[in-house]
Structure 1
Amino acid sequence: MKKLQNEQLKQQFIQTSGYLDQFSFDVSLDTQLFFFPANSYLVKENQPPSHLFYLVKGKAKLYDTLANGKVALIDFFSPPCFIGEMELVDETQTAFSVQAIEDCWCLALARKDCQKKLLKDALFLQKLCMYFAHKNYRNIKASTQNQGFPLSQRLASFILLTQNEGRYREKHTQVSEYLGVSYRHLLYVIAQFVDDGYLKKEKNSYLIQDTEKLIQLAAEVKA
């Protein structure tokens, strides 16, 4: 995590992301700009975030480490969206890990300075309620997609979501559980993608070679 002292870039993100529309008072002077390189952590498990983040560029994933040591993917973040809002509302909430899939930029408000004021802001709370509702709808939609679409289409959509600079690196065990399929079935479809020329296997990743075909496969799932 790196705090950026770039006022011009901060103002650009503020103006283009709808950030100020989330609050009934001017938060500009209290807002900071952070940069998170790909694979770094925006939030670490069991460590409450020090800031309320507003993702304005990049992609990140949310996951939990279970008692048996397995890592479970939960959700994905694309801009614009809040990160750390659950811990802001409920300080007893256990923090899950949020990791950058690609380079991420976030506008941020320090919890210690703004928490009380934010929790009294009717507009902010209304926006959070809408955000929670949309997130719940998205999770329900993902669950129904797992039941209604073949793995090839869902995997194509997942690869496009999680790729970074044309490379796909997610762990097969976590992906199979997230998509609700067996490890063997997942490996079979990935091998088919390689045979069909959509992906190329490399040492620790897959290089996407036919983005258009993956987009075509994913189109119905995203509809």
Structure 2
Amino acid sequence: MEYSNFFKSLTDKEISYLKSISKIKEKKEGDIIFWEGDDPKYTFFLIEGVVKIYKTSNNGNDITLNYILPPSFIGEFAVIKGMKYPISAEMESNGRLIVFETKGLTKFIEKNKNFMREIIIYLANKIEKNYSYCEDLMEKNAKKKVAKFIKEHEDLFFSLKHTKIASILNITPETLSRTLRELKNEGLIVERKIVKINKNKLESLLND
């Protein structure tokens, strides 16, 4: 069921093939998906959770480059270029991945024009999202940052710790807490025990 949700151009037969060369794996916070320098023998597709992308400096410090939110391939450029991973990927929260055998997946993409087109569109959308992410990092209005995250990733908002959400949004935990209080006071979100989000008000805020 999940495969057809993410790969909508494929037939039942093609979905069955993808299932035959992959597994859905549960991951826990802190699990390493791949290390910098690993061969891309497997191709990873995030369906739940958050992944941290980072590099390790010469002095051993980890430098966070980005956070991957679902649904999304992870490190696919290394797979496409046939190079070793130049980055490391770690689960920032509990989640789930589709883990493909890279050889089987690349052969399938080469033979299936519809799926190749879907992958190209996916890559274009990811580039667009990265531009948007950069714009979000430069956005000085914390309220809009938080509102956009809630609107697009409601499930993660209620499952991640506030410190992690703050890191993803590049704001301080104190700023996030203050912003959430403002959103609650304005009726845009309601306390967690009775989970309600006023999506119309969020949309108005983002379009303001």
TM-score normalised over the length of structure 1: 0.62
CA contact (8 A) 2:18 2:105 kept: no
Deviations along 1:9-28, whole A, 9 cap, x unmatched? xxx33344326729x96734
Write the mapping of 1:46-195 to structure 2, written as runs, cut at 5 A: 46=36, 47-55=38-46, 57-67=47-57, 69-79=61-71, 81-90=72-81, 91-99=83-91, 101-106=93-98, 108-111=99-102, 113-114=103-104, 117-118=107-108, 120-121=110-111, 123=113, 124-148=115-139, 150-158=141-149, 161=153, 164=156, 166-169=158-161, 171=163, 175=166, 179=169, 183=172, 187-191=174-178, 193-194=180-181
Where does residue 43 of structure 1 map in the other structure? 33
Identity, % of aligned positions: 11
CA distance in 2, matches of 1:142, 1:34: 27
Structure 1 residue runs of 5 or longer lacking an equivalent are: 1-11, 201-206
1:163–1:29: structure 2 CA closer, same or farther, 3 Å change rule?
A: closer
CA–CA distance in structure 1, aligned partners of residues 200 and 35 of structure 2: 33
Check whether the contact 2:49–2:94 (CA below 8 A) recurs between aligned residues: yes
User: How big is each residue's C-alpha offset from its partner over 1:177-198, in whole Å with a ceiling of 9 and x where there is no partner?
Assistant: x5455x4xx5244245358576
**1:212, distance to aligned residue in structure 2 (A):** 1.7
Q: Using a 3 Å threshold, how does the CA distance of structure 1 residues 99 and 138 change in structure 2: closer, same or farther?
A: same
Aligned AA (1:212): I
Deviations, residues 164-183 of structure 1 (Å, cap 9, x unaligned) = 482432546x945x5455x4
- Matching residue's letter, 2:2: F
Provide the C-alpha distance between the structure 2 equivalents of 1:117 and 1:49, rounded to a whole number of angstroms: 15
TM-score under structure 2 length normalisation: 0.65
1:13 aligned to 2:5? Answer: no
User: Could you list the per-position Cα deviations for residues 105-151 of structure 1 after superposition, in whole angstroms to 9, with x for gaps in the alignment?
Assistant: 42x3212x426625644624433322221111111122234445611
Cα separation, 1, equivalents of 2:207 and 2:108:
34
Question: Compared with structure 1, are the counterparts of its residues 27 and 221 closer, same or farther at alpha carbon in structure 2 (3 Å cutoff)?
Answer: farther
Task: Name structure 2 gaps, 5 residues minimum.
Answer: none
| Alpha-carbon RMSD | 4.2
Contact 1:168 1:208 in 2 (8 A): no
Task: Report the count of equivalent residues.
Answer: 196
